[in-house]
Amino acid sequence: MRRSTLAALALCTTFGFSSSILAAGDAEQRTAESRAVIKAFAGELKTALKGAMKSGGPLEAIAVCNETAPAIATRHGDAKDWDVGRTSLKIRNPGSAPDVWETSVLQSFEQRKAGGEDVKTMDYGEFVELDGKKVFRYMKAIPTGEVCLNCHGGDNVKPEVEAKLAELYPDDKARGYSIGDIRGAFTIVQPAE
Ligand code: HEC
């Protein structure tokens, strides 16, 4: 038994597989850590949004998305020395615009959804080079739920909410969503060297 394991290891090394196996293990761990951070981030965001919607309605809840969401993202990122944020193919905040890698992952999410995959568990991560440095990048799709339609829907958006959004985001593209659509994705960059 042990001998065969050794033989297998020797084979792997000979063919240069061992480093890719190690990298795969590392990617798995980084993916697991990313999922945990996003779970915490999304949970906090949901609680803050629900609370604000209950106490002040969508008009006041805009502040949660406007100020609280980026603040929560930064706090979770800083704790790990990662970049944590949100992005989308149709953005509201121009500061959250996707880069080339994020755009291609978001497009692949749309294809995976069209292929019948569940948006709730859809994610993707890989090692890439960013600005000359090795990093691990990870994204997790964000499904559109009913509450989101108050501010990202079509006709569901109240006139006063629409006016406030237009004032804050004159170039807003994040409208016209339906339940189940991919609203965007959480996005993480982990330094990897
Ligand atoms: C009360 C209004 C409101 C509700 C409800 C709301 N959002 Fe937003 N959303 C915003 C605002 C405002 C921004 C821009 C935040 C910023 O400036 O970074 C935003 C931004 C986003 C972004 C970042 C990408 C972008 O377009 O700038 C995502 C992703 C997002 N919302 C998803 C959701 C999801 C999913 C829900 C439902 C669970 C939801 N939102 C509910 C107002 C809302």
Taking only the tens place, the pLDDT of each residue in 35-66 is 999 999 999 999 999 999 999 899 889 988 88
Residue 138 or 72, more confident: 138
Q: Give pLDDT, residue 19.
A: 52
In a domain, 11, yes or no: no
Atom of ligand 1 nearest to the CA of 174: 26
Between 61 and 21, name the one with better pLDDT.
61
Of 111, 107, 89, 100, the residue nearest 137 (C-alpha):
100
Q: 102-133 burial, b for 16+ CB within 10 Å, e for fewer?
A: beebbeebeebbeeeeebeebbbbeeeeeeee
Confidence band for 21, pLDDT divided at 50, 70 and 90: low
The pLDDT, as a whole number, for residue 134 is 94
Coil, strand or helix at 174: coil
C-alpha 125/C-alpha 31 separation (Å) is 6
Q: Which of 72, 99, 73 is nearest to 88 (CA)?
A: 99
185, 99, 153, 158 alpha-carbon torsion, rounded to 10°:
120
Nearest residue to 145 (alpha-carbon basis) of 117, 112, 113, 120:
120
Domain membership flag for residue 27 = yes
pLDDT of res. 161: 94
Rounded to the nearest integer, the mean pLDDT of the chain is 88
Q: Which of 60, 185, 192, 94 is nearest to 135 (CA)?
A: 192
Tell me: pLDDT of 23 over 80. Answer: no
Residue 4 is assigned to a structural domain of this protein: no
Domain that residue 91 falls in: 17-191
Which is higher by pLDDT, 14 or 145? 145
Nearest-atom number in ligand 1 for the CA of 86 is 23
48 Cα: distance to centroid of ligand 1 (angstroms) = 12
Q: Domain containing 52 — which CATH number?
A: 3.30.450
Please say whether the beta carbons of 182 and 141 come within 8 A: yes
Q: Is residue 10 part of a domain?
A: no
Evaluate whether residue 56 is within a structural domain. Answer: yes
Dist. CA 181 → ligand 1 center (Å): 14
- For the chain, the domain total comes to 1
pLDDT of residue 18 exceeding 60: no
Contact residues of ligand 1, CB 6 A cut-off: 49, 58, 61-62, 65-66, 69-70, 86-88, 91-93, 96, 142, 144-145, 147-148, 150-152, 174, 183-184
Which residue CA neighbors atom 5 of ligand 1 most closely? 148
Taking every pair of C-alpha atoms in the chain, what is the biggest distance, in angstroms?
Answer: 73
pLDDT digits (tens, 9 = 90+) for 137-184: 999 999 999 999 999 999 889 999 999 999 999 999 999 999 999 999
* Residue 182 · residue 144 · CB < 8 Å: yes
Q: Which structure tokens are listed for 14?
A: 């000979």
pLDDT at 9 over 50: no
Q: What is the CA radius of gyration of the chain?
A: 20
Residue 81 lies in a domain: yes
The predicted pLDDT at position 79 comes to: 85
pLDDT in the model for residue 53: 92
Give the contacts of 68 (CB within 8 A, at least 6 positions apart).
45, 48
7 half-sphere exposure, CB direction, 13 A CA radius: 4
pTM value surpassing 0.85: yes
CA-proximal residue: ligand 1, atom 37 (nearest): 148
Residue 12 falls inside a structural domain: no
Residue 5 forms part of a structural domain: no
